[in-house]
Amino acid sequence: MVADAGGVRAAGRPSRSARARARAVAVTSFPPPPAAIKGRQHELRALAAALRRAPDAPIVLLGGGGTGKSLLACALGHRVARHHPGGIHWFRAGVWDHRTLLEMLALHFGAPRASDGCGLRATLATRARTFIVLDNHENDRAMARLLETLRGCPVTWLLTARRCLLSGVSIFPVVAPLAMGARPAFPRVAGLTALLRWNPLALDIADALVGSRAVAANRLRRWLLERGAERVAVMDDEDDVVEVRLLVDWAWTRLPAGARRMMAVLAHGQGDHIGAPSLRVLSGAGAQAAGFLRRLRRWRLVQEPLKDRYALHAVVRRAVARRTRFSQARFFAHYARLLERRPDLLEIEQSNLFAAMDHAHQVSSLGASLRIERLLERL
């Protein structure tokens, strides 16, 4: 995701109009403050203090899938925004290589696009202190090159990752909130807390299922036990969180086919989020799309990082992707046509544009690459 709550002048006190624009962007672009963040106040205070002491030292929020790293990063960004007149910004790093990351940041900050990052470095150097979140970091080599290229710029870096083999960063472990105190974060499903290993994402979904009266807590517990929730097993990867996968399995057979198709689209999309109109078209949900989305939101299976734009948590995404298929060529065709017709959407669809560019490179299509390059030139 690319998000920005900045845009103020680098030197001196920002003008009133600039501050108004920054506030407007903050409301519409940066992920909104979490409605509830349970058991994290001590961590927020500790992280804010660490940023004040050493603003140039990158911090990595490190923890397993579903432990609340992104939520904590979002809450922290809003907490420290007033100390970053250059704005607070959000990017999903994922597995992108360093050249793609540099180009994404350059486009976002209005810097010259250069493979060595010199234009971006010069642009950031002239801004007031800026706070940047690089969410879901997965490529250590690319991240090391990016951070070294931009070292010395007045930027406070915050990364989230499930694993990290970087030196020169401060690691901040993230575990399930309230777990150490043995207090349930979700009282409605307190009896499932230990079975779901205190995983905040699993408990949040279970709480939604029980709260919406889709299933009683005791029946859900019995179902989970029958499917081996308490057994020790090998995970396929960091995102294969069994407790979440089983809850997705429970919901999957009870969702309408159109809602399942929507989840498949979200699971295989390579951008940060998908707008409701695109989701409706790509899933073929038609006029029923709004109803399907209401069901998915009520069960907390989808996230809405920006208004009317949807995504899956990486762990839910993994659980859905393993049981579905969706053609990347369809994503390319949809977004290429959409952005050629609606260039005003280029900024909000930037990550989907980069995903289309990646697809064009993978299939070695010169025609597709030229289409994307023409769109990039409009940014």
Residue-wise pLDDT tens digits, 131-178: 999 999 999 999 999 999 999 999 999 999 999 999 999 999 998 776
Strand residue runs (E) in 174-298:
274-275
Look at residue 25 in the predicted model and tell me its pLDDT.
34
What's the predicted TM-score (pTM) here? Answer: 0.81
Look at residue 178 in the predicted model and tell me its pLDDT.
64
Look at residue 51 in the predicted model and tell me its pLDDT.
95
Question: Hey, CA dihedral for 301, 302, 305, 308, is it positive or negative?
Answer: negative
Distance from C-alpha of 46 to C-alpha of 150, rounded to nearest angstrom? 26
Quote the distance between the C-alpha of residue 275 and its chain's center.
15
Distance from C-alpha of 371 to C-alpha of 361, rounded to nearest angstrom? 12
Distance from C-alpha of 315 to C-alpha of 38, rounded to nearest angstrom? 20
CA distances from 134 to 1, 89, 217, 260, 285 (A): 9, 9, 36, 29, 33
Look at residue 165 in the predicted model and tell me its pLDDT.
94
Distance from C-alpha of 340 to C-alpha of 378, rounded to nearest angstrom? 10
Look at residue 13 in the predicted model and tell me its pLDDT.
38
30 Cβ contact list (under 8 Å, min separation 6): 3, 4, 5, 77, 78, 88, 89, 90
**What DSSP letter does each residue of 313-378 carry, written as one string?**
-HHHHHHHHTT----HHHHHHHHHHHHHH-GGGTTTTHHHHHHHHHHHHHTT-HHHHHHHHHHHHH
Look at residue 7 in the predicted model and tell me its pLDDT.
33
**Regions of the chain where pLDDT drops below 70:** 1-29, 178-182
Selection from 107, 176, 100 nearest residue 138 by Cα: 100
Look at residue 181 in the predicted model and tell me its pLDDT.
60
